[in-house]
A and B are shown apart, each in its own frame.
Chain A
């Protein structure tokens, strides 16, 4: 058994295994982690470091940028663009709540009531992913077009009077208003809400509903005291999967909104690609990231999902 003393050979999948099982077991997890870690280092960690350094540089395109530890960029960016930050959070928050209100009943239906239609409905939920995000958002442009049938109907039902009183629409237009952007965000992120909700609802043992009913809980109480608390992991991951990308989104605001509905994503995009003010764009990105991280941490703490199965 001279092989016992040999060092383990580097990654050699398919090679005949002669090492004792104990030694193999000890290193396998690291080998398995390696590709993922490499990927993260190259495509996440390095760009992050690069952006972090960009955010504290000064200079211009002509003279070149240098790291001068100019943290004031952060402050300048925040004071110049705070309305866009607030707007992003408001739009994304509204869209997240709408997604939850629309998605929960549907996920509940699929999980408990759909029977043999379950798979079909699931396919319908995922179907939009088969076309591009851009195409779908452009389609909304047509749907919400001025003088189109939808806008006409909303107008004659006086829905637009209400939304324009709320400041969500302007006159008899829907396109290029906050409402259009929120609708677009809601539509585009709805599946990311439904899928985790469905997964956590589907895992709930049906006998728990029976047990609650047996213990004098009416159907609505059963939902409040048993079903909803048990679906909290789905609610939390669904809202995070909706809120986080929605906050940084710029496509919906770009295609469906106007200059008055610009979100922080649009600002970052403009700074990077048109103004070419890289430090400000990088600082904005970091502020956005920190803000989301802060909100998410607070949210997870509050919802107390660590406790749940």
Chain B
């Protein structure tokens, strides 16, 4: 990273909003993306993430609010006057120009005469030096994608905007390009804002992820933070899988909250609860499937003290190599998902077996019970 303290590459959105007639694509939104960061806008289609990106690029006029790049208010500037460049979905390479001219396009428009050296260096960076005189349609999808990145990066934009840049690639190539883009970003130190609907992609690449839903940012944070401490059921379900148990606040002990759920007790660190915690209040207790251990009911005595535990019966199990995924029918939650690493497989854990599910209370999170526990499940699928 070149200069992370220089604020000129910060992107600041204040009260930015977009409405089309009576439809609100983006609700008033405040967002700051610091210089040099790899920022992802994550959400299902129609959540407003692309509209937000296009407002930064100047391709969409905000209905309200201001876009700042560093200290400069660029809200009223047309795209060709903004120091940002975009990598478009499906690339939008100019079909009548060869790769060299595609990459040189921005430099030439700014009146640079000798572009050869810069273009060649940029093509080297994306490993396309050999293809300079080919037309875009002669390249593979992954190569076209790299041309699109090179064409944008060569202008040294303050911010690079990426609109689902990997959406058209197959899975293997996408993984490879994720690492490639991350490498390029680290190398050039430019702020990247990346729009994607692929949660894995966002988590792999970005330093900071903003999860958007219905034109609003649901939660913003590092990938690990979003995964471990989701604040809404949408985030909990959109990023990975979550199990939810409806519970009632019983009492507090130290830094923990004790909850009643279906006759049993669960412990939840207060710091990890985003719901009001007055006694008698409803809380959705969440836990990720891979945090849970599964023990046969006969061995329930061997479970150490101080772990959250619930009982159930295995409804289904599927062996997928590195792990086995169980669906457990429990009185407090009908389809409890558990991912168990295949280290020591207990042959008794077959559908129909009575089991105890237990986990470290520190891995529990609490959400407001007023929301739909299934929010985001469909979108993530």
Chain A residues in the interface with B (C-beta under 8 A): 205, 207-208, 210-218, 221, 225-226, 229-230, 307-309
The verdict on B222 contacting chain A, using a C-beta distance below 8 Å, is: no
Across-interface contacts of A229 in B (CB, < 8 A): 96
- Minimum CB–CB distance from A82 to chain B (whole Å) comes to 39
Please tell me if the beta carbons of B96 and A308 are within 8 angstroms of each other in the complex: yes
Chain B residues in the interface with A (C-beta under 8 A): 57-59, 78-81, 84-86, 88-90, 92-96, 105-106, 109-110, 137, 151-152, 155
Chain A residue nearest to B135 (CB atoms) is A307
Known A-B contacts: A207-B89, A210-B79, A215-B80. Give 14 more (CB < 8 A): A207-B88, A208-B92, A208-B95, A210-B92, A214-B79, A215-B85, A216-B109, A216-B155, A221-B109, A225-B105, A226-B96, A229-B96, A230-B95, A307-B96
Across-interface contacts of A216 in B (CB, < 8 A): 80-81, 106, 109-110, 155
Asked whether A309 and B57 contact (CB < 8 A) given A211-B88, A212-B105, A217-B80, the answer is: no
Q: Is the interface of A mostly helix, strand, loop or mixed?
A: helix
Interface pairs A-B: 8 shortest CB-CB: A215-B106, A216-B109, A207-B92, A211-B92, A213-B79, A214-B86, A216-B80, A229-B96
Please tell me if the beta carbons of B137 and A214 are within 8 angstroms of each other in the complex: no
- Minimum CB–CB distance from A219 to chain B (whole Å) comes to 8
Q: In the bound complex, how far is the Cα of B93 from the Cα of A226, in angstroms?
A: 11
- Minimum CB–CB distance from A19 to chain B (whole Å) comes to 38
- Minimum CB–CB distance from B205 to chain A (whole Å) comes to 21
Please tell me if the beta carbons of B94 and A211 are within 8 angstroms of each other in the complex: yes
Asked whether A226 and B94 contact (CB < 8 A) given A214-B57, A214-B85, the answer is: yes
Across-interface contacts of B93 in A (CB, < 8 A): 211
Asked whether A214 and B109 contact (CB < 8 A) given A207-B88, A207-B90, A208-B92, the answer is: no
Q: In the bound complex, how far is the Cα of B95 from the Cα of A307, in angstroms?
A: 10
Please tell me if the beta carbons of A210 and B59 are within 8 angstroms of each other in the complex: yes
Across-interface contacts of A207 in B (CB, < 8 A): 88-90, 92
- Minimum CB–CB distance from B110 to chain A (whole Å) comes to 5
Across-interface contacts of B78 in A (CB, < 8 A): 213
- Minimum CB–CB distance from A309 to chain B (whole Å) comes to 6
Of the residues B58, B86, B92, B109, contact of A217 by C-beta under 8 Å: B109
Across-interface contacts of A214 in B (CB, < 8 A): 57-59, 79-80, 84-86, 88, 152
Across-interface contacts of B59 in A (CB, < 8 A): 210, 213-214
- Minimum CB–CB distance from B177 to chain A (whole Å) comes to 19
Across-interface contacts of A308 in B (CB, < 8 A): 95-96
Q: List 13 A-B contacts (CB under 8 A).
A: A205-B92, A208-B92, A208-B94, A208-B95, A211-B86, A215-B109, A215-B151, A216-B106, A217-B80, A217-B109, A226-B94, A230-B95, A309-B95
- Minimum CB–CB distance from A11 to chain B (whole Å) comes to 39
Of the residues B80, B90, B137, contact of A309 by C-beta under 8 Å: B137
Chain A residue nearest to B151 (CB atoms) is A215
Q: In the bound complex, how far is the Cα of B96 from the Cα of A230, in angstroms?
A: 7
Chain B residue nearest to A218 (CB atoms) is B80
